[in-house]
Amino acid sequence: MGGGSHSTRFKKKYRVWFGDRSSPKNSALTEFPHSTSNRTDMTLNTKTEQYQLDEQWMAQAIQLASRAETEGEVPIGAVAVYEGEVVGRGWNRSISTHDPAAHAEIMALREAGQTIKNYRLCDVTLYVTLEPCAMCAGAMLHARIARLVVGASDPKTGAAGSVLNVLEGKHTFHQVVVEKGLLAKACSAQLRQFFRDRRAASKSKLK
């Protein structure tokens, strides 16, 4: 696990595109360190491969969100990946554990720290089905994660650009690469259905 230069190394190695991740066609290519003759093809190949990996990890986060729902929690899941391996998994557990801080992201970061044996999670990518709140975004800064991939945006409490921009602020001590919109429709649908079912259950109790 490196020190302060990890973010630069990470960007050179992995930061291929930004913006709306609902589809790779909506992404803008950035400079990639290859020879000029093969740079375009290799960048496109790397972009496709990284997108496929990102979808794979986000799909796991969605499964963890489903686990949260079965436990009576808001369905949000998170997966921490380091060097191509899952090092942390989390799902909302605030209600079941009586812990206001037991959000999916926090649980994944805690497990990642135990797996890596370091409270600094340099070069870790965190995948989460819903844009993190300010608490979780702050924990990501302190953990020094390199990259955050978000499914659905949160227009009410999102701290990765929707309401606050905790992770990419000019005055923060660390900046995280943030990419939003990966499998956004699936993540949003999961949350909408959960709250729709909960409202219906509440109405039925009043009858």
Catalytic residues: 105
Question: SS3 for 90?
Answer: strand
Query: Rg of the chain over CA atoms, in angstroms?
Result: 18
> From residue 2, how far is each of 5, 41, 114, 172 by CA, in Å?
7, 30, 17, 19
Burial (Cβ within 10 Å: 0-12, 13-18, ≥19) of residue 184: buried
Tokens of 170: 């000019």
Tokens of 199: 């409202």
Cα-Cα end-to-end distance for the chain: 57
